[in-house]
Amino acid sequence: AKSEARGAFRFFEPEMDARIQARRLLEQDLREALVAEAFELNYQPIYDLASDRICGFEALLRWNHPARGRVSPAEFIPVAEEIGLIVPLGEWVLRRACAEASRWPDGIKVAVNVSAVQFTSASLVTAVRDALRGSGLPGRRLELEITESVLVANPGATTAILHSLKGLGVRVSMDDFGTGYSSLSYLRSFPFDKIKIDQSFVRDLGAPNGTDFIVRAVIGLGDSLGMTTTAEGVETEEQLATLRAEGCDEVQGYLFSRPVPVEDVPAVIRRWNGA
């Protein structure tokens, strides 16, 4: 039995090796990409239902590696978090998004995703202040999106950081709401400006045993807490109609536009808001 076990171990060894090897390569490529500025941002419009106009864009990180092709942020962000690269990478995103958004019309905001690791890092508030100063973008045109994991990891630090950001005029959204661990009481005790309803709830709107009641509850929650609600992943007219009827404030999804390169932002604004 013992030799069998050893044989089994040897059998898996090369495969393990390959996996560790692949992971090291990915880490190396990520570090090089940051130095080479091989990342770029795409922007997806956020549509305001009260005015029927685009009111902002969410910045989404893109990495196009010469050999790997397009690598999804869902794949490389967790790795960047683990190896400590997310702080410099996230600061690059902040600077780039503020610089690009500073050239957009004044009514158009930019929303930037901030990883939990970066949010509670010592340098976040300074990085935001520097990105605003460097670009000339007014704080009121910047929104930061954070996920519930921030609250669970470090509720004390989060409150202090949220208040410092408010001091800069920056708004903060709770992203992917309903998918994490946080409870309703958490939401009440943190001064968020916006709740983003996760696309998993939007997808099943109108389905048998659908999520209509959850979406309705979250919109009601937002209303009673004085927070704006944004629905993500809106792909159909039916979903849009339901969200409108339920009093959702903002929507975002392929129905309006996929994320686009920065040079296409003016055309997207023209298409929806007119000239």
The pair phi, psi for residue 129, each rounded to 5°, is -60, -45
Nearer to ligand C2E, 29 or 58 (CB): 58
Region from 21-29, 187-195, 223-231, 253-261 binding ligand C2E, contact rule CB under 6 A: 253-261
Q: Both tokens of residue 140?
A: 């009121």
Does residue number 113 form part of the binding site for Ca ion (CB under 5 A)?
yes
Q: Which of 72, 123, 183, 189 binds ligand C2E (CB under 6 A)?
A: 72
Given the rule CB under 6 A, which of 26-34, 73-81, 131-139, 209-217 is the region that contacts ligand C2E?
A: 73-81
Relative to beta strand 250-251, strand 39-48 is antiparallel
Q: Residue 62 contacts by C-beta under 8 Å, 6 or more apart in sequence?
A: 39, 40, 41, 42, 70, 73
Torsion of CA 26, 28, 34, 39, to 10 degrees: -30
State how far the Cα of 64 lies from the Cα of 183, in Å rounded to an integer: 37
Stretch binding ligand C2E (CB under 6 A), from 71-79, 127-135, 154-162, 204-212: 71-79
Give whole-number Cα distances, 123 to 31, 65, 176, in Å: 20, 28, 24
Q: Between 134 and 153, how does the x/- string for binding to ligand C2E read (CB under 6 A)?
A: --------------------
The item of ligand C2E, Ca ion, none sharing an interface with residue 60, based on CB under 5 to 8 Å by kind, is: ligand C2E
| Residues of the shown chain interacting with ligand C2E in the complex, contacts defined by CB under 6 A | 44, 60-61, 72-74, 77, 90, 93, 113-115, 175-176, 199, 232-235, 253-254, 259
